[in-house]
Each structure stands twice: as C-alpha cells, then as structure tokens.
C-alpha cells in the first residue's frame, strides 16, 4: 500500500475483533515507533506495548474516552520526558501518527486516547496517575496518549472533510471575505 492510500483510508476505529496480532506485526509496529523522528534526535519519548487483556481493561479507565481499549489487541502508551527535550509533545504525537498509518497499511484499525491535558493540570495528573500506577511509569515521564490497535470490527464511513479553503492557506494566512 502506498503512503497516500494509508492516509486516505485512515479513520479512527472504535470497535475491534477479538483476534490477536501476529508477533511479527507487533514487532513491525515497534520498528515504526523506533523510526519516528524527534527534534535533535533526542530520546524524548518511549512506548509501552500492552497485550495483556486484564491490564488493558484497567488501563481503559484512564479516561472516560477510551472504552475501545477493552477490545483492542494491543495498547500503545506513549510517554515522554520534558526534561530531555522541549519538543517532547511534538515528538510523542508524531510517532503516534506514524503508527496510525502503519496500522492501516497492516489492515489494522487504531483509536487515539488523549491522556495529557494541557489546560487542566489536576485532570492531567489524575489521568496520568492512573496509567502511571498500572504500568509503573516513572514520575519524570508524562503520559501523552494511549492508542488502541486491532483488527477493525466495522468498516468506517469515508471521512467528511473540512473544506480545503478552511484548512489550507497559500503564501499567507488568509480567509475569504464573509458574504
């Protein structure tokens, strides 16, 4: 599959079949995460791959918005260390994007669960604290996101796009004059 096709086919998958991933697929996804770039090539983010079903059930309680993790064959927890790089959040997010496309290319679906909350420190600490406790994540690591991967149980509808003119600007930030 070409990268453009993976980009065009990618949707969030919220329901998964109860089917394990082959070991080579898990290793390939780990390879993709290792290849994702970071600012200054710093080791600013790390990934915890979780296949244990009991652990996934507990981890799904990190926020109310990741029920799909209970069905996922693989959970990928992205942690990042702000002491290592000021680009920690961008590094962590970019790796998740790479992973999403690779999952599509492998015939898999993925869902994204935001954990780190940039505007509510108390809520972020609560969410991160839960994942931290379940997975023994050290305090210097921020818990950015938890991703769920598996074989999709439903075929997603084509994506309804925001109009191109609302998204893309050429040369300078510009909006059409209101009618």
Ligand X SMILES: Cc1cc2nc3c(=O)[nH]c(=O)nc-3n(C[C@H](O)[C@H](O)[C@H](O)COP(=O)(O)O)c2cc1C
What residues make contact with ligand X under the rule CB under 6 A? 11-12, 63, 65-66, 111-114, 159
Shortest spacing between CB 35 and ligand X, in angstroms: 20
Q: Minimum Å distance from CB 23 to ligand X?
A: 27
Give whole-number Cα distances, 52 to 74, 84, 137, 175, in Å. Answer: 8, 30, 17, 49
Residues 6+ apart with CB under 8 A from 78: 45, 47, 92, 93, 95, 96, 143, 144, 145, 146, 147
**How far does the chain reach from its first CA to its final CA, in angstroms?**
42
Shortest Cβ 130–ligand X spacing (Å): 14
Q: Is 39 in contact with 81 (CB distance < 8 Å)?
A: no
For ligand X, give the closer residue by CB, 25 or 68: 68
Residue 74 beta carbon to ligand X: minimum distance, rounded to whole angstroms: 16
Structure tokens at 81: 């260390």
Q: Smallest gap, in angstroms, from Cβ of residue 65 to ligand X?
A: 4
Q: Are 119 and 70 in contact (CB under 8 A)?
A: no
Q: Name which of 120 and 170 has its Cβ closer to ligand X.
A: 120
Q: Give the residue with the Cβ less far from ligand X, 121 or 179.
A: 121
Distance CA 168, CA 134 (A): 41
C-beta of 27 vs 126, nearer to ligand X: 126
Rounded CA separation 74/62 (Å)? 16
Residue 48 phi/psi, 5-degree rounding, is: -110, 120
- Our CB check for ligand X shows the closer of 1 and 27 to be 1
């Amino acid at each position: 599959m070409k990268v453009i096709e993976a980009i065009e086919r990618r949707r969030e998958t919220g329901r998964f079949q109860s089917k394990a991933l082959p070991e080579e697929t898990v290793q390939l996804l780990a390879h993709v995460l290792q290849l994702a770039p970071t600012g200054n090539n710093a080791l600013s983010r790390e990934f915890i791959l979780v296949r244990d079903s009991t652990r996934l059930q507990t981890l799904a309680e990190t926020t109310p918005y990741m029920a799909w993790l209970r069905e996922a064959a693989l959970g990928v927890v992205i942690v990042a260390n702000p002491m290592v790089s000021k680009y920690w959040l961008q590094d962590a997010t970019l790796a998740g994007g790479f992973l999403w496309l690779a999952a599509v290319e492998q015939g898999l679906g993925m869902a994204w669960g935001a954990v780190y909350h940039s505007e509510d420190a108390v809520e972020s600490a609560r969410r991160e604290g839960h994942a931290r406790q379940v997975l023994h994540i050290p305090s210097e690591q921020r818990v950015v996101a938890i991703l769920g991967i598996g074989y999709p149980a439903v075929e997603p509808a084509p994506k309804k796009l925001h109009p191109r003119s609302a998204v893309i600007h050429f040369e300078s930030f510009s909006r059409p004059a209101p009618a």
